[in-house]
Structure 1
Amino acid sequence: MNYSDKISEQFEASGNKRIDLKAAVPTDWDRVCVVGPYQDDAFVEKTLGFAWPAERKTSIEDNDGISLLLFAKGQSVVAHVEYPRNHGDFTELEGQCFNPQKARFRNFPSGPDNWPRLVPE
Protein backbone atom coordinates (compact mmCIF):
# COMPACT_ATOMS: atom_id res chain seq x y z
CA MET A 1 0.00 0.00 0.00
CA ASN A 2 1.42 3.36 -1.00
CA TYR A 3 0.34 5.65 1.83
CA SER A 4 2.08 8.66 0.28
CA ASP A 5 -0.28 8.44 -2.69
CA LYS A 6 -3.30 7.99 -0.39
CA ILE A 7 -2.34 11.11 1.60
CA SER A 8 -1.79 13.11 -1.61
CA GLU A 9 -5.12 11.96 -3.06
CA GLN A 10 -6.93 12.94 0.14
CA PHE A 11 -5.26 16.38 0.14
CA GLU A 12 -6.15 16.98 -3.51
CA ALA A 13 -9.75 15.81 -2.96
CA SER A 14 -10.10 18.42 -0.20
CA GLY A 15 -9.02 21.17 -2.58
CA ASN A 16 -5.55 21.14 -0.96
CA LYS A 17 -7.07 22.23 2.35
CA ARG A 18 -6.87 19.26 4.75
CA ILE A 19 -5.16 15.99 5.58
CA ASP A 20 -6.44 13.46 8.10
CA LEU A 21 -3.66 10.92 8.61
CA LYS A 22 -5.88 8.60 10.64
CA ALA A 23 -8.13 8.20 7.59
CA ALA A 24 -5.28 8.04 5.05
CA VAL A 25 -3.16 5.51 6.96
CA PRO A 26 -5.64 3.04 8.45
CA THR A 27 -3.06 0.68 9.94
CA ASP A 28 -2.99 0.42 13.76
CA TRP A 29 -0.76 3.21 15.16
CA ASP A 30 -0.75 5.32 18.31
CA ARG A 31 1.32 8.27 17.07
CA VAL A 32 2.78 9.76 13.92
CA CYS A 33 6.07 11.64 14.18
CA VAL A 34 7.45 14.14 11.70
CA VAL A 35 11.08 14.15 10.59
CA GLY A 36 12.35 16.87 8.28
CA PRO A 37 15.02 16.78 5.61
CA TYR A 38 18.66 16.01 6.40
CA GLN A 39 17.97 14.33 9.74
CA ASP A 40 19.79 11.25 10.96
CA ASP A 41 19.12 8.21 13.13
CA ALA A 42 20.00 10.12 16.33
CA PHE A 43 17.28 12.71 15.63
CA VAL A 44 14.79 9.96 14.79
CA GLU A 45 15.59 8.15 18.05
CA LYS A 46 15.15 11.36 20.05
CA THR A 47 11.80 12.03 18.31
CA LEU A 48 10.39 8.49 18.58
CA GLY A 49 11.88 7.60 21.96
CA PHE A 50 13.46 4.46 20.50
CA ALA A 51 15.97 3.60 17.78
CA TRP A 52 14.81 3.11 14.18
CA PRO A 53 17.16 2.93 11.14
CA ALA A 54 15.84 5.88 9.11
CA GLU A 55 19.17 6.40 7.36
CA ARG A 56 19.08 2.83 6.02
CA LYS A 57 15.34 2.60 5.27
CA THR A 58 14.65 6.08 3.82
CA SER A 59 16.27 8.93 1.91
CA ILE A 60 15.56 11.56 4.63
CA GLU A 61 19.24 12.11 5.39
CA ASP A 62 19.95 13.60 1.96
CA ASN A 63 16.58 14.41 0.34
CA ASP A 64 15.18 17.90 1.01
CA GLY A 65 12.07 17.23 -1.10
CA ILE A 66 10.37 15.03 1.50
CA SER A 67 9.17 14.92 5.07
CA LEU A 68 9.35 11.55 6.77
CA LEU A 69 6.18 10.50 8.58
CA LEU A 70 6.80 7.70 11.07
CA PHE A 71 3.71 5.83 12.26
CA ALA A 72 4.51 4.10 15.55
CA LYS A 73 2.73 1.69 17.84
CA GLY A 74 4.46 1.32 21.18
CA GLN A 75 8.17 0.85 20.48
CA SER A 76 7.81 -0.09 16.80
CA VAL A 77 7.45 1.79 13.52
CA VAL A 78 4.48 0.13 11.79
CA ALA A 79 4.59 2.32 8.66
CA HIS A 80 6.74 5.09 7.26
CA VAL A 81 5.99 7.55 4.50
CA GLU A 82 8.41 9.67 2.51
CA TYR A 83 5.92 12.43 1.77
CA PRO A 84 6.71 14.97 -0.98
CA ARG A 85 6.85 18.45 0.49
CA ASN A 86 5.35 20.01 -2.64
CA HIS A 87 2.14 18.03 -1.89
CA GLY A 88 1.96 19.41 1.66
CA ASP A 89 4.91 20.45 3.77
CA PHE A 90 5.07 19.00 7.29
CA THR A 91 8.58 20.30 8.06
CA GLU A 92 7.48 23.05 10.44
CA LEU A 93 6.22 20.22 12.67
CA GLU A 94 9.60 18.47 12.71
CA GLY A 95 10.32 16.54 15.89
CA GLN A 96 6.66 16.52 16.95
CA CYS A 97 4.37 13.51 17.33
CA PHE A 98 0.59 13.42 17.09
CA ASN A 99 -1.90 10.80 18.25
CA PRO A 100 -4.50 9.61 15.69
CA GLN A 101 -7.18 11.98 17.03
CA LYS A 102 -4.83 14.98 16.62
CA ALA A 103 -3.31 13.91 13.27
CA ARG A 104 -5.46 16.30 11.25
CA PHE A 105 -3.71 19.11 9.43
CA ARG A 106 -4.80 22.09 7.40
CA ASN A 107 -3.13 24.16 4.75
CA PHE A 108 -1.67 27.41 5.99
CA PRO A 109 -0.49 30.13 3.58
CA SER A 110 2.38 28.83 1.50
CA GLY A 111 5.92 28.90 2.77
CA PRO A 112 9.01 30.25 1.03
CA ASP A 113 9.01 27.46 -1.58
CA ASN A 114 5.31 28.07 -2.39
CA TRP A 115 4.58 24.59 -1.04
CA PRO A 116 1.41 24.23 1.02
CA ARG A 117 2.46 24.41 4.68
CA LEU A 118 0.61 22.04 6.96
CA VAL A 119 -0.29 22.93 10.53
CA PRO A 120 -2.44 21.08 13.09
CA GLU A 121 -6.19 21.74 12.87
Structure 2
Amino acid sequence: MKNFSLIVILTMFTLSCSGPEKLESDKSLENSIQQNVSSGQETLDFNELTQFKWDSLIILTPYSNPESLADKFDVNFSSIEHAGIQSRDDINLIIFFDEGEPIRMVEYPRYPGDFANNEIRFVRRNEAIYNIVVTDQLSTGGDKWINVIKK
Protein backbone atom coordinates (compact mmCIF):
# COMPACT_ATOMS: atom_id res chain seq x y z
CA MET A 1 0.00 0.00 0.00
CA LYS A 2 2.90 2.36 0.73
CA ASN A 3 4.24 1.87 -2.80
CA PHE A 4 0.85 2.72 -4.30
CA SER A 5 0.58 5.90 -2.20
CA LEU A 6 4.09 6.90 -3.19
CA ILE A 7 3.30 6.38 -6.89
CA VAL A 8 0.13 8.49 -6.60
CA ILE A 9 2.00 11.30 -4.84
CA LEU A 10 4.85 11.27 -7.38
CA THR A 11 2.41 11.26 -10.29
CA MET A 12 0.47 14.22 -8.87
CA PHE A 13 3.74 16.11 -8.25
CA THR A 14 4.98 15.42 -11.79
CA LEU A 15 1.72 16.59 -13.34
CA SER A 16 1.62 19.76 -11.25
CA CYS A 17 5.22 20.66 -12.16
CA SER A 18 5.04 19.90 -15.85
CA GLY A 19 3.62 23.32 -16.75
CA PRO A 20 1.51 24.14 -19.80
CA GLU A 21 1.57 21.84 -22.79
CA LYS A 22 3.87 22.95 -25.59
CA LEU A 23 2.05 23.77 -28.79
CA GLU A 24 3.43 22.21 -31.97
CA SER A 25 3.28 23.96 -35.31
CA ASP A 26 0.13 23.10 -37.26
CA LYS A 27 1.55 21.93 -40.60
CA SER A 28 -1.87 21.49 -42.18
CA LEU A 29 -2.83 25.10 -41.45
CA GLU A 30 0.61 26.24 -42.64
CA ASN A 31 -0.04 24.50 -45.96
CA SER A 32 -3.49 26.09 -46.23
CA ILE A 33 -2.02 29.56 -45.65
CA GLN A 34 0.72 28.95 -48.24
CA GLN A 35 -1.80 27.76 -50.83
CA ASN A 36 -4.00 30.80 -50.22
CA VAL A 37 -1.10 33.26 -50.39
CA SER A 38 0.27 31.66 -53.57
CA SER A 39 -3.12 31.35 -55.29
CA GLY A 40 -3.22 34.85 -56.75
CA GLN A 41 -5.98 35.99 -54.40
CA GLU A 42 -5.77 39.50 -53.00
CA THR A 43 -6.71 38.67 -49.39
CA LEU A 44 -6.06 36.07 -46.74
CA ASP A 45 -9.01 35.50 -44.39
CA PHE A 46 -8.12 33.32 -41.41
CA ASN A 47 -11.83 32.62 -40.83
CA GLU A 48 -11.97 30.73 -44.10
CA LEU A 49 -8.86 28.67 -43.31
CA THR A 50 -9.63 27.55 -39.78
CA GLN A 51 -11.98 24.81 -38.65
CA PHE A 52 -11.46 25.18 -34.90
CA LYS A 53 -12.77 27.50 -32.18
CA TRP A 54 -10.70 30.64 -31.63
CA ASP A 55 -11.46 34.27 -30.84
CA SER A 56 -8.22 36.14 -31.60
CA LEU A 57 -4.73 35.76 -32.99
CA ILE A 58 -1.39 37.45 -32.67
CA ILE A 59 1.49 37.26 -35.13
CA LEU A 60 4.95 37.43 -33.63
CA THR A 61 7.42 38.71 -36.20
CA PRO A 62 11.10 37.69 -36.39
CA TYR A 63 13.13 38.43 -33.27
CA SER A 64 10.03 39.19 -31.17
CA ASN A 65 10.54 38.81 -27.44
CA PRO A 66 7.68 36.66 -26.07
CA GLU A 67 8.64 37.50 -22.50
CA SER A 68 8.19 41.26 -22.90
CA LEU A 69 5.09 40.76 -25.06
CA ALA A 70 3.58 38.49 -22.40
CA ASP A 71 3.87 41.38 -19.94
CA LYS A 72 2.55 43.91 -22.44
CA PHE A 73 -0.50 41.84 -23.41
CA ASP A 74 -0.95 40.04 -20.06
CA VAL A 75 -0.83 36.55 -21.59
CA ASN A 76 1.16 33.41 -20.96
CA PHE A 77 3.44 32.48 -23.86
CA SER A 78 5.15 29.55 -22.12
CA SER A 79 3.47 27.05 -24.47
CA ILE A 80 5.21 28.59 -27.50
CA GLU A 81 8.61 29.59 -26.07
CA HIS A 82 10.28 26.48 -27.55
CA ALA A 83 9.72 27.94 -31.05
CA GLY A 84 12.55 30.40 -30.31
CA ILE A 85 11.05 33.33 -32.25
CA GLN A 86 13.28 35.75 -30.32
CA SER A 87 16.33 34.44 -32.22
CA ARG A 88 14.80 33.48 -35.56
CA ASP A 89 14.44 35.47 -38.74
CA ASP A 90 13.08 32.67 -40.94
CA ILE A 91 9.51 32.54 -39.58
CA ASN A 92 6.58 34.51 -38.27
CA LEU A 93 4.76 32.82 -35.40
CA ILE A 94 0.98 32.87 -35.78
CA ILE A 95 -0.71 32.10 -32.46
CA PHE A 96 -4.44 31.49 -32.11
CA PHE A 97 -6.17 32.16 -28.80
CA ASP A 98 -9.43 31.13 -27.23
CA GLU A 99 -10.52 32.99 -24.10
CA GLY A 100 -7.02 34.37 -23.55
CA GLU A 101 -5.17 31.05 -23.87
CA PRO A 102 -2.92 30.03 -26.77
CA ILE A 103 -4.52 26.99 -28.41
CA ARG A 104 -2.74 26.59 -31.74
CA MET A 105 0.32 27.98 -33.51
CA VAL A 106 1.91 28.01 -36.92
CA GLU A 107 5.63 28.53 -37.47
CA TYR A 108 5.04 30.23 -40.81
CA PRO A 109 8.02 30.68 -43.16
CA ARG A 110 8.58 34.19 -44.45
CA TYR A 111 8.17 33.00 -48.03
CA PRO A 112 5.60 32.81 -49.46
CA GLY A 113 3.84 35.50 -47.50
CA ASP A 114 5.85 37.53 -45.03
CA PHE A 115 3.87 38.94 -42.07
CA ALA A 116 6.91 40.81 -40.68
CA ASN A 117 5.63 44.28 -41.65
CA ASN A 118 2.66 44.10 -39.29
CA GLU A 119 2.32 45.65 -35.87
CA ILE A 120 2.36 43.00 -33.15
CA ARG A 121 -1.11 43.13 -31.67
CA PHE A 122 -4.14 41.00 -30.97
CA VAL A 123 -6.52 40.69 -33.89
CA ARG A 124 -10.09 39.61 -33.28
CA ARG A 125 -11.37 36.73 -35.36
CA ASN A 126 -13.83 38.87 -37.31
CA GLU A 127 -10.98 41.26 -38.24
CA ALA A 128 -8.40 38.60 -39.23
CA ILE A 129 -8.26 39.58 -42.89
CA TYR A 130 -4.95 40.45 -44.55
CA ASN A 131 -4.00 41.90 -47.93
CA ILE A 132 -1.62 39.85 -50.06
CA VAL A 133 0.86 42.21 -51.72
CA VAL A 134 3.27 40.97 -54.38
CA THR A 135 6.32 43.25 -54.50
CA ASP A 136 9.13 43.80 -57.00
CA GLN A 137 11.64 42.56 -54.43
CA LEU A 138 12.90 39.03 -55.17
CA SER A 139 13.21 36.06 -52.83
CA THR A 140 16.44 34.05 -52.67
CA GLY A 141 14.79 31.67 -55.15
CA GLY A 142 14.17 34.50 -57.64
CA ASP A 143 10.39 34.70 -57.07
CA LYS A 144 8.65 37.97 -56.29
CA TRP A 145 8.47 38.65 -52.55
CA ILE A 146 4.98 38.53 -51.05
CA ASN A 147 3.99 40.61 -48.03
CA VAL A 148 0.84 39.86 -46.05
CA ILE A 149 -0.41 43.07 -44.42
CA LYS A 150 -3.29 43.60 -41.98
CA LYS A 151 -6.24 45.05 -43.91
TM-score bracket for the superposition, by shorter chain length = 0.7 to 0.9
Quick one: percent identity of the two aligned structures?
Answer: 20
Alignment CA distance shift 1:47-1:109 (3 Å) = farther
Equivalent residue in structure 2 for 1:32, among 46, 57, 61:
57
Secondary structure of the 1:10 match is: helix
Instruction: Please say if 1:17 is aligned against 2:50.
Output: no
RMSD between aligned residues: 2.2
1:118 partner amino acid:
V
Q: Is the 8 A contact 1:38 1:60 kept in 2?
A: yes
Question: 1:49, CA displacement in angstroms?
Answer: 2.6
Alignment CA distance shift 1:24-1:8 (3 Å) = same
Instruction: Please say if 1:99 is aligned against 2:124.
Output: yes
Equivalent residue in structure 2 for 1:5, among 4, 27, 31:
31
Q: Is the 8 A contact 1:33 1:48 kept in 2?
A: no
Equivalent residue in structure 1 for 2:104, among 79, 99, 117:
79
* Bigger Rg, structure 1 or 2: 2
Alignment CA distance shift 1:47-1:79 (3 Å) = farther
Runs of 4+ in 1 over 4 A off after TM superposition: 111-114
Q: Is the 8 A contact 1:106 1:119 kept in 2?
A: yes
TM-score by length of 1: 0.82
Secondary structure of the 1:91 match is: coil
Extract unaligned runs of 5+ from structure 2. Answer: 1-25
